[in-house]
C-alpha cells in the first residue's frame, strides 16, 4: 500500500493561511492533491490538518480526512516528525500497513505528477535506502544542506560554504519513506530548479506565480 500524506495546518505567521491561499483561482493545496491523484501511485491521499476549513477544501478535491490533527502539534514549533508520528499511531491503531509513504507538502504548485512517478520508481530500485529526499541546486530558506556521494546517498552538513559547488539544498517539496527498509540511509533526488520553490512569504508566493506561468508558456 502506498499513501500520500499532505501536512496542512491552518496557522502560518509569514504568509497567513498559505496552504489554502488562492493560486490562480485555486487553493494551493489543490495542486498537491491533484498531482498526487494524477500520478496514480497512491491507494490513499490523506491530509493531516487541524482545520475544519482545510479539511472541507481537501475533501472537495478528493483527499481523505480520517482524523483531525491535535492543536498541540499544529503550531510553529511542530515538526514533520511530530506529524508523521501522529499519523503512524493512527495507522497502527487502525491496522493500516503502508510500505511507502510520500510526505507531500501542500505548497508545491510547480511540481509535476511525472516527478512523483520518476522519483518513486528511482526509490524502488534503491532498496538499501529508507528515505528519499528531494534536493536542488537552488538556494532556499531551509536550514538543511547536503552533500551527495556516488551512490546517491546524502548527508547533512553545517558549513555548506566549505563545499562550494558540491552542495545541495533541501527542495522542500516531498520525500518518500520505505517502511520495509531497516537502515537509515537517505537517497537524494535532484529536482529541476524550475520545478520547486520554498513558499514562506508573499515574495516567494509571487515568485512561484511567475514561475508557474513561465512553465505554462513553455508548454505552448
Q: What is the pLDDT of residue 143?
A: 60
Q: What is the pLDDT of residue 216?
A: 65
110 contact partners, CB below 8 Å, separation of at least 6? 194, 195, 196, 197, 208, 211, 212, 215
CA-CA distance, 171 to 141, in Å (whole number)? 10
CA-CA distance, 114 to 117, in Å (whole number)? 5
pLDDT at 164 over 80: no
Q: Which of 40-44, 75-79, 200-204, 205-209 has the lowest mean pLDDT?
A: 75-79
What are the tens digits of pLDDT across the range 30-60? 999 999 999 999 999 999 999 999 999 999 9
**pLDDT band per the 50, 70, 90 thresholds, residue 137:** confident
What are the tens digits of pLDDT across the range 90-115? 999 999 999 999 999 999 999 999 99
Residue 27 in contact with residue 20, Cβ under 8 Å?
yes
Q: What is the pLDDT of residue 220?
A: 45
> Assign residue 135 a region: left if phi > 0, alpha if psi is -120 to 50, beta otherwise?
beta
Question: Cell digits for 210?
Answer: 511567475
150 contact partners, CB below 8 Å, separation of at least 6? none
For residue 45, list its beta bridge partners: 4
pLDDT at 156 over 90: no
What's this model's pTM, rounded to 2 decimal places? 0.92
Choose among 114, 150, 154: nearest CA to 130. 154
Residue with cell 551512490: 151
Amino acid at each position: 500500500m502506498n499513501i500520500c500524506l499532505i501536512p496542512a495546518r491552518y496557522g502560518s505567521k509569514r504568509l497567513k493561511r498559505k496552504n489554502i491561499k488562492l493560486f490562480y483561482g485555486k487553493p494551493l493545496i489543490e495542486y498537491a492533491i491533484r498531482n498526487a491523484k494524477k500520478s496514480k501511485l497512491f491507494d490513499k491521499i490523506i491530509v493531516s490538518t487541524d482545520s475544519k476549513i482545510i479539511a472541507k477544501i481537501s475533501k472537495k478535491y478528493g483527499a481523505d480526512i480520517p482524523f483531525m490533527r491535535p492543536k498541540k502539534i499544529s503550531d510553529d514549533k511542530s515538526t514533520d516528525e511530530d506529524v508523521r508520528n501522529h499519523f503512524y499511531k493512527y495507522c497502527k491503531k487502525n491496522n493500516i500497513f503502508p510500505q511507502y509513504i510520500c510526505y507531500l507538502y501542500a505548497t508545491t504548485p510547480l511540481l509535476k505528477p511525472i516527478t512523483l512517478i520518476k522519483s518513486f520508481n528511482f526509490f524502488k530500485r534503491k532498496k538499501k535506502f529508507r528515505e528519499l529526499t528531494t534536493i536542488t541546486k537552488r538556494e532556499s530558506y531551509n536550514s538543511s544542506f547536503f552533500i551527495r556521494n556516488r551512490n546517491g546517498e546524502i548527508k547533512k552538513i553545517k558549513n555548506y560554504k566549505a563545499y562550494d559547488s558540491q552542495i545541495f539544498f533541501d527542495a522542500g517539496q516531498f520525500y518518500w519513506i520505505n517502511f520495509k527498509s531497516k537502515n537509515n540511509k537517505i537517497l537524494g533526488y535532484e529536482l529541476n530548479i524550475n520545478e520547486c520553490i520554498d513558499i514562506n512569504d508573499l515574495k516567494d508566493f509571487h515568485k512561484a506565480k511567475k514561475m508557474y506561468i513561465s512553465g505554462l508558456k513553455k508548454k505552448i
